[in-house]
Amino acid sequence: MAASDPQRALTEHGRVEVKSMLTLLRDEPLDGILASPYRRAQQTAELVSQGLSHSRGVATAAWLTPDDDPRQALDFLAERRERNVLLVSHQPLVSQLISLLVEGHKRGHYPMPTAGLACIDVDFPAAGIGQLGLLSSPSELSA
C-alpha cells in the first residue's frame, strides 16, 4: 500500500484498461505525451508510449496533478510546440480542463473513469473553443 496518493501504483486492472484503450489511439499522430508526476500516471503514460511505439517518450508535467488549476494547464499548453498531445492526469483536473476547453468554464461535469479517454480538437488551447470529439472508457469498449 502506498504512503500517499502520489505514490500509489497503477493496479493490474488499471494496466488492462489502459491497454484496451490503445485501440482508440492507434491512428492518432501523437507529437507528445505529458504525464502527471504521480506514479500511476507515469506508469500509464509509459504503457501508452510503449504500446504505440511512441519514440519521443514521456515528459513529466508538474501542473497535471488532481488539484491543479485547469486555467494554468491551458497556459502551459499554449507554450508548447506539439499539436497533438496526450495528457495523462487525474480527476478533478481532467473534468475541469475538458469543461474549460469545450464550455468556457470549469463547472461542467465529464465523467472520466480509470483509463478514460477524451479527444478534444483545438487550434489553440483556450477556453471555450474546443470540440469534444470523443469521450470513452474501457467499459464502453468491452460492451
Question: Which alpha helices (H) appear in the chain, and where do they start and end?
Answer: 12-25, 39-51, 70-78, 93-103, 138-142
Return the pLDDT at 13.
95
- Looking at the DSSP bridge assignments, the partners of residue 87 are 34
Q: Is the pTM of the predicted complex or chain greater than 0.85?
A: yes
**Within 10 Å of residue 112's Cβ, how many Cβ atoms?**
21
Give 120's strand partners. 132
Cα separations in angstroms, 106 against 22, 74, 90, 118: 28, 12, 15, 15
| Average pLDDT of span 63-67 | 96
Taking 80 as the threshold, does the pLDDT of residue 143 lie above it?
A: no
The answer to whether the beta carbons of residues 118 and 132 sit under 8 Å apart is yes
Give the model confidence (pLDDT) of 67-94 as tens digits: 999 999 999 999 999 989 999 999 999 9
